[in-house]
Structure 1
């Protein structure tokens, strides 16, 4: 019996999940075996993690179970973490799966591939700053977002109890966010939205005035991906909420007491969040002799194939691709992962059919940043019209929400995607405003 052509995708993020769905629909199960390897049981769209962290979004309602999704769309799901790649035998090595008690669920094993796609995303880059790994919270995964939310609620409860015991007490929840990109800015605004709602859920004496948020950015301004006018508008909006915005401020150390800047200032913080820069996971560093960057990203050719092995593709935040003539590589954004997934799908189909492969062409559709319910700013169209169109307010919010809806349709198809969008609207009405557990 002839072996099936096996396509293995490692990583079930936005790009990886979209890709396996397309491959499952295109090839089916008879002559092809499409396999997704992912360490988590469920998928949540990464741009929503700041809402999960603040409690504004119940991830249990928006997550996608890989096993049920695999059954529906014709691929197989293996829970596990990539350990290494055996290029000579065309196999991926999956690390042992360990439960929370330290017991082994499944041992180390190997999975054959004819074509391999690495789409394991990226993690926060602490740039070797002392104390970050030990004293900061991150928002790279659902688990980390849940951990932040619990610590936030615990700290709010401490302050609320102290205020109840002593009405004259000056107690606050101090939060320092390092990184003025989209994640840091959106989290800062979402925290005030969440704090404003806590008094409706048992913390009667607590409100957003008890929140002190400091946003620290090393560059000259926040949101460098947006035009300066929009970045200034976002800064003004954050400051109106009460956020202290520090730009041109380099962090030299993080302790349990707070964040230390290059000028010597100590920004006190009960919770410290690191959202400054991304890099590839450590396991990608020189993996299997493939070419990687100093940030552990796999270097790919215009076809999205890795530079040293045409049977291995890489896409999303874990890959490095700098178009010819471009000043910078493709940025780590959800829209880039979506477009890369389409190119990888097309080129895998071309390889199997013996056709020539097409180069990846990135179409910058702009950037949008949501300041919770307060405002949304962004730029649309990008290089599609040779420039940018700045938008704010309701139009920007509509487009921002539409991006998530497009993601739902990409991973679920039109019928199921539209159904989930409708259910989401219903949940906004009938579900609690905040997730408090």
Structure 2
């Protein structure tokens, strides 16, 4: 019997799940030359959803039954194993990871604490928002970091509308006021999507609520412009579209504190709010800081070489938002680090897939080179704005409107293709087009 080479991937986000799927299919015979190979995916959630879609879940414009992917089913279909639980530690000497026990909502143990052996470890656990220590964020603000967060926000939005419809007294100043803090892609997309879905919710018999007078969405950004990572031209176009939708945009506005029913700015202005979303800043999870003795930066990202190997251990790789991957020659204000985008995770997954045989055979690895294809931001059902092919032509080509929206949709389709293949994606797309014509455009529960 030959020794099995065990590849363990921690994190089933865009990059991690794509890599596990490709490797599982590649080594479905469990044989590669003289070595058998097994692939294990570890995640603290049961299901996968493409993270850029979370704002649609929060706004209620996505049917989760059509978009959620069960890890156990995907593992069965594509010949890898799935373990449920959260990474808690790495033993580099014995090449093991520790995974926390998993409990259900009632506190009943589902899976015990696990120790999983690895030969090659790939960490791809994504990123979280960074509250920068702002008082009140933990107690009163909601985040959009996970599917649970998005579902919770949507339910609170529906409840806020029902409450306003049922009460006989006039609305209080904070009622039906939604404040989104952070005007990056998540904040801007959520603001635009809420304009459409909140009006759809009100149209279902809530005649005591005036969507133009009572409903208000406010977007707050500390930087001089929204979408600060993108060009001024794109930022201006996005702000105009939001303003035309009725979204109030506030820039150069730094949040000092969040209270139960208001947002307090450093300027002294207080903004009443019933729902507060924190979408500012990006960092890797805190537990990654120094895990296994590996090097990390101030944002808790693991430092990696151009090969995506961690700086202190060639058997451990990191990719996606949790990796501080060098971007030579970049002038992006981030110290030459690859930005935390879905396209970077997709590229890195494809790169690592092509390098696995090199890894197992002990041959030199090729460095990963980030290719910037631009950025797209969705602004509701029919419009998007962004730049395309920024890294290909040495500049950027601004796109907006329906064409940009189609390009935005195509990014998600590429992710689906990596997980399911052409036939299933084509059939699923047709089915969903039919489904949309017979169901509500907004989720009401």
TM-score, structure 1 length as denominator? 0.96
* Secondary structure in 1 matching 2:357: helix
The 5 A counterparts of 1:78-93 are: 78-93=83-98
Name 1:192's counterpart in structure 2: 195
**SS of the counterpart of 1:387?**
coil
For residue 337 of structure 1, the aligned residue among 325, 328, 345 is 345
Q: Which residue of 1 aligns with 2:46?
A: 41
Is the CA contact 1:225–1:367 (under 8 Å) kept in the aligned structure 2?
A: no
Give the match for residue 209 of structure 2. Answer: 206
Superposed displacement of residue 324, structure 1? 2.6
Superposition deviation, residue 49 in structure 1: 0.4
CA displacement 1:370-395 (0-9 Å, x = unmatched): 11125311110011011100011111
1:196 Cα deviation (Å)? 1.5
Cα distance in 1, alignment partners of residues 410 and 235 from structure 2: 22
Match of 2:121 among 109, 112, 116: 116
Q: State the aligned residue count.
A: 435
What is the alpha-carbon distance in structure 1 between the residues aligned to residue 388 and residue 63 of structure 2?
A: 29
Aligned to 1:363: 371
Comparing 388-397 with 325-334, greater Cα deviation is found at 325-334
2:360 matched residue in structure 1: 352
2:307 to 303, 307, 312: 303
The Cα of 1:351 is off from its aligned counterpart by 1.3
**Other structure's SS at 2:93 match:** coil
Q: CA deviation at 1:171?
A: 8.4
Q: Secondary structure at the match of 2:159?
A: helix
Query: What does residue range 256-275 of structure 1 map to in structure 2 within 5 Å?
Result: 256-275=260-279
Classify 1:207/1:72 alpha carbon distance in 2 versus 1 (closer, same or farther; 3 Å): farther
Residues 232-256 of structure 1 show CA distances to partners (whole Å, capped at 9, x for unaligned) of: 1111121122211111111111110
1:278-333 deviation line (CA, Å, top 9, x unaligned): 11111101000000011111011101111111101100111111223323311111
Q: Could you tell me how far apart the structure 2 residues matched to 1:45 and 1:207 are?
A: 34
Q: Is the 8 A contact 2:174 2:272 kept in 1?
A: no
User: Which runs of no fewer than 5 residues in structure 1 stay unpaired?
Assistant: none
Give the distance between the partners of 2:416 and 2:67, measured in 1 at CA: 10
Kindly indicate whether residue 67 of structure 2 is the aligned counterpart of residue 59 of structure 1. no
Pairing 1:7–2:7 present? yes
Higher helix share: 1
Aligned counterparts, 1:6-405, within 5 A: 6-30=6-30, 31-162=36-167, 165=168, 172-209=175-212, 210-327=214-331, 328-373=336-381, 375-405=383-413
Task: For residues 108-148 of structure 1, give each alpha carbon's deviation from its aligned partner in whole angstroms, at most 9, with x where no partner exists.
Answer: 12000000000000111001111111111000100000000
Q: CA–CA distance in 2 between the matches of 1:136 and 1:9?
A: 32
Structure 2, unaligned runs of 5 or more: 31-35
Distance, in Å, in 2 between the alignment partners of 1:11 and 1:169 is 43
Query: Greater CA deviation, 342-351 or 401-410?
Result: 342-351
The more displaced of 305-314 and 25-34 is 25-34
Q: Which SS does the other structure have where 1:267 is aligned?
A: strand
CA contact (8 A) 1:299 1:320 kept: yes
The 1:366/1:427 distance shift into structure 2, 3 A limit, reads: same
Separation in 2, partners of 1:27, 1:374? 41
Give distance in 2, aligned partners of 1:218 and 1:229: 18
Cα separation, partners in 2 of 1:354 and 1:88, compared to 1, 3 Å: closer
Residue 424 (1) aligns with residue 404 (2): no
SS at match of 2:186: helix
Aligned-partner Cα distance in 1 for 2:210–2:360: 59
Q: Distance in 1 between matches of 2:108 and 2:359?
A: 41
When the two structures are superposed, what TM-score results if normalisation uses the length of structure 2?
Answer: 0.94
Q: RMSD across aligned C-alpha pairs, in angstroms?
A: 1.7
